[in-house]
Amino acid sequence: MTMIPYGRQSIDDADIEAVTSVLRGDWLTQGPAIDRFEEAVAEYVGARHAVAFSSGTSALHGAAAAAGLGPGDVVHTTPLTFMASANCARYVGARPALIDIDEATLNLDVRAVDNTVDALVPVHYAGLPVDLTALPHRPRVVIEDAAHALGAWTPDGPVGNCAHSEMTCFSFHPVKPITTAEGGMVTTNNDELADRLRKFRSHGIRRHPEKGGWYYDVENVGYHYRMTDVQAALGLSQLGRLDRFIEDRNRLADRYREVLADLPLRLPPAAPDGVRHGYHLFVIRVADRAHVFEALRARGVFVQVHYVPVHHHSVSIDVLLPTSGVRVTDRVYEEIISLPLYPGLTEEGQDTVVRVLDEVLS
Ligand SMILES: *Cc1c(COP(=O)(O)O)cnc(C)c1O
C-alpha cells in the first residue's frame, strides 16, 4: 500500500546542486547565500526588508519582540492555527487572546476586530489571505502569520508586502510553500524594525568597525536564531519554482472541487476575485470526522487535521476568549480534514485519494 501524505516537499536536481555548491564553498553559515535569499524574498513579495530566521516560530518571536510587545500587552489571533501563532505573545510575556473564525473564509473574523484590539496576528489559513482591508479598526501592531501563504496574492499585491501590517512572517518547513528544511523569514517596510529583527536573531549584537574590526557591542538580550547558508541556498533555488508550485496547487485544488462536488462533504472556501489562493491546505468538512480520518489513514491516505484549536490545549489556560465565545471554531473543528495537496501530487495520486474518500463516505 502506498502512503499519500497530506503535504511534502518538492526537491529537484537544481536544489541539490545549490546545496552541494555551498557545502563545497567557504561559508556554511553567515555567508553570501543568506543575503541573496533575503533580497530575493523581499523582491518577490515587494517589501523593503526580509530577515531570515531559523524557523517560522523564531521569526514570529522576533516580530513580537521587534514590535515591542511585552508584559501587559494582549495579542489577538485565530483559534484555528498552530500554537506558534499564540506562543509568539507568550515568548515576550504578553497574553494571547482569540477572535472566532468566519465560517465563510475559516480565517479570523475581521469584523470582530474592534477598537479594543491593540495587537493582531492574523493567520492566512490554508493559504487564503485574510482581508485586512476589511478591518473596522487598524490595530497598533499587525503581524501577519503567513506560514501558509508565501505566493498568495491580495488585490494589494503579494502577501508579505506589508501593505496593511508592520511585519509578515513565513515558514520554510518542508510542507510549506517552499522549504529550507527548517527556516523562516520576516518581511517589513520599516527600517527600524528590520534593524531590531537582525539584532534579535543574532545575540543582540551590533558591530562597531570604527572602534576596531573586532569590536561589537551586545546591546540587548538576543537569541541565536540564524539560518545557515546551506538552507538559504536551498530556499533561493526553491523560490525560483514558487510560482509553478502555487499554480500546481491551484490546478489540483480546482480538480478536487470538480471531482468531489457530488460527495457528501463541504469544500473549502475559494479565493474571491483578485486573490490568488496559496492552497497550502485543502480542508474539507465531513460529518463523521473521526471515522473518515481513521478509515482514510488505514487505506494509505495520510490526512491530517489543521488544527486542534489553540484554546483546547493545556498550555492555553492563560488565553483570553471573546465574551461571545469561539463557537464557530469549535463547530468547524469537529468536521475538518486536510486532504493531500502538494506540487508533486500526481493526478493518479489524487484520483486514488478521491476513490478512497468516495468508498469511505458511502
Ligand atoms: C508552520 C507554522 C508555523 C511555524 O513554523 P515553523 O517553521 O514550523 O516554526 C507558525 N504558524 C503557522 C500557522 C504554521 O503553519
DSSP-derived secondary structure for 170-191:
EE--TTSSS--SS-EEEEES-H
Model pLDDT, residue 149: 98
Report the C-alpha gap between 258 and 254 in whole angstroms: 6
The string of DSSP letters for 35-56 reads: HHHHHHHHHHHT-SEEEEESSH
Tens-digit pLDDT profile for the chain (362 aa)? Answer: 679 999 999 999 999 999 999 999 999 998 999 999 999 999 999 999 999 999 999 999 999 999 999 999 999 999 999 999 999 999 999 999 999 999 999 999 999 999 999 999 999 999 999 999 999 999 999 999 999 999 999 999 999 999 999 999 999 999 999 999 999 999 999 999 999 999 999 999 999 999 999 999 999 999 999 999 999 999 999 999 999 999 999 999 999 999 999 999 999 999 999 999 999 999 999 999 999 999 999 999 999 999 999 999 999 999 999 999 999 999 999 999 999 999 999 999 999 999 999 999 98
Residue count (the chain)? 362
Q: Are 228 and 29 in contact (CB under 8 A)?
A: yes
Distance 358 CA to ligand 1 centre (A): 31
Model pLDDT, residue 88: 98
- Cβ–ligand 1 contact at 85 (below 6 Å): yes
Model pLDDT, residue 137: 93
Those residues with Cβ within 8 angstroms of residue 204's Cβ, 6 or more apart along the chain or in another chain: 218, 219, 220, 221, 222
> Residue 280 CA: which ligand 1 atom is closest?
15
Q: Whose CA is nearest to atom 14 of ligand 1?
A: 147
Q: Whose CA is nearest to atom 15 of ligand 1?
A: 147
> Residue 175 CA: which ligand 1 atom is closest?
1
Distance 192 CA to ligand 1 centre (A): 25
Q: Are 226 and 201 in contact (CB under 8 A)?
A: yes
289-298 and 347-361 are packed helices; what angle lies between their axes, rounded to 10 degrees? 130
Choose the residue to mutate in 124, 173, 178 for probing ligand 1, maximizing ligand atoms within 8 Å of C-beta: 173
- Cβ–ligand 1 contact at 56 (below 6 Å): yes
Model pLDDT, residue 255: 98
- Cβ–ligand 1 contact at 121 (below 6 Å): no
Q: Is the pTM of this model over 0.95?
A: yes
Give me 311's grid cell. Answer: 484554546
Distance 262 CA to ligand 1 centre (A): 33
Q: Tens of pLDDT along 161-180?
A: 999 999 999 999 999 999 99
- Cβ–ligand 1 contact at 81 (below 6 Å): yes
- Cβ–ligand 1 contact at 231 (below 6 Å): no
Choose the residue to mutate in 75, 85, 124, 182 for probing ligand 1, maximizing ligand atoms within 8 Å of C-beta: 85
- Cβ–ligand 1 contact at 352 (below 6 Å): no
- Cβ–ligand 1 contact at 338 (below 6 Å): no
> Residue 172 CA: which ligand 1 atom is closest?
7
Choose the residue to mutate in 9, 53, 57 for probing ligand 1, maximizing ligand atoms within 8 Å of C-beta: 57
The partner residues of 95 in beta bridges, in order of sequence, read 74
Model pLDDT, residue 159: 98
The partner residues of 239 in beta bridges, in order of sequence, read none
Model pLDDT, residue 2: 78
